[in-house]
């Protein structure tokens, strides 16, 4: 089974734990990898208006993936989904941050694009509201 790794928003704004960064780095290089980075643009996603907080507008990934895609919302960009489809992999392994929000949106986007998303639960962390990521795993 051919696979690719999708790393969601492991970036300074979200204060990922070191064990998560170290764990993801251990598997980088063993399969094609893509990382997303959430960058703030209030005209695209009203984080400040609705949540009173926003990620940085200049964050970069803390993981050295093969490809990087910037996004401005919960779901991955269309470009990142199309790139993963062009890889013609059987399954996309998903890891990173915000399991109950970004991770869930990513899973649905991959599924809707005809992919088989699989969450690597040992390399996933929830938001500051649920660091365990249990909500996203249950959903």
pTM higher than the cut 0.85: yes
Map out the domains of the chain with their CATH numbers: 3-138 (3.40.50.850)
Q: What residues in the chain have per-residue pLDDT under 50?
A: 135, 139
- pLDDT given for residue 139 in this prediction: 45
Taken in order 45, 59, 82, 3, is the CA torsion positive or negative? negative
- pLDDT given for residue 49 in this prediction: 87
CA gap 111, 134 in Å, rounded: 20
Q: Choose among 121, 97, 116, 122: nearest CA to 35.
A: 97
DSSP 48-99: HHHHS----SS---SS--SEEEEESSSSPPHHHHHHHHHTT-SEEEEEEE-I
For 45-68, write each residue's pLDDT tens digit. 888 888 788 888 899 999 999 999
3-class DSSP state for residue 11? coil
Number of H helices, E strands in the chain: 5, 5
């Amino acid at each position: 089974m051919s696979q690719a790794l999708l790393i969601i928003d492991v970036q300074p704004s979200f204060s990922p734990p070191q064990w998560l960064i170290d764990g993801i780095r251990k598997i980088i290089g063993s399969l094609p990898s893509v990382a997303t980075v959430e960058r703030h643009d209030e005209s695209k996603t009203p984080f400040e208006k609705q949540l009173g907080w926003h990620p940085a507008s200049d964050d970069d990934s803390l993981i050295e993936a093969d490809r990087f895609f910037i996004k401005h919302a919960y779901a991955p960009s269309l470009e990142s989904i199309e790139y993963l489809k062009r890889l013609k992999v059987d399954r996309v392994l998903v890891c990173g941050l915000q399991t109950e929000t970004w991770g869930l949106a990513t899973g649905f986007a991959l599924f809707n694009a005809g992919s088989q998303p699989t969450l690597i639960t040992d390399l996933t962390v929830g938001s500051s509201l649920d660091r365990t990521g249990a909500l996203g795993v249950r959903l």
